[in-house]
Amino acid sequence: MIFDLRIYTLHNNKFAAWLKLYEEHGHAVQVKHCGEPVFYATTEVGELNQVVHVWKYATQADRETRRDALMADPAFQAYLQKSRELGAHQRQECRILKSTAFSPL
């Protein structure tokens, strides 16, 4: 099992608008291709205006197949265009994490 950890830092004045945009236009299509996220959260303490989410995949090849299908979906491309137009993102971090043998996940 591998986990795709993503941390997006957004502009404060566009944070709520981006969350609404993703909820209305991005989430369903992403779940369609990638499955339900392990979690999807916002920061309350520490660096603020961040969205943190984790997706799980059986293997790196599974992740690549699912992400390729997501990126090929016209509905997700339309969401990405709306997101770019909003201009909410300051920074994005992505990490692939490998589960340990003793992890509950």
In this prediction, residues 72-89 reach a mean pLDDT of 98
Structure tokens at 4: 């795709």
- pLDDT attached to residue 18: 98
In this model, does residue 92 exceed pLDDT 90?
A: yes
Instruction: Spell out the domain ranges in the chain.
Output: 2-95
Rg (CA), the chain: 14
% of the chain residues with pLDDT over 70? 100
**pTM, rounded to two decimals:** 0.91
Helices H / strands E in the chain, number of each: 4, 4
pLDDT in tens, 22-68: 999 999 999 999 999 999 999 999 999 999 999 999 999 999 999 99
The packing angle between helices 27-34 and 60-72, to 10°, is: 140
- Strands, E assignment, the chain: 2-10, 39-42, 50-57, 89-98
Does 1.10.1060.10 match the CATH number of domain 2-95?
Answer: no
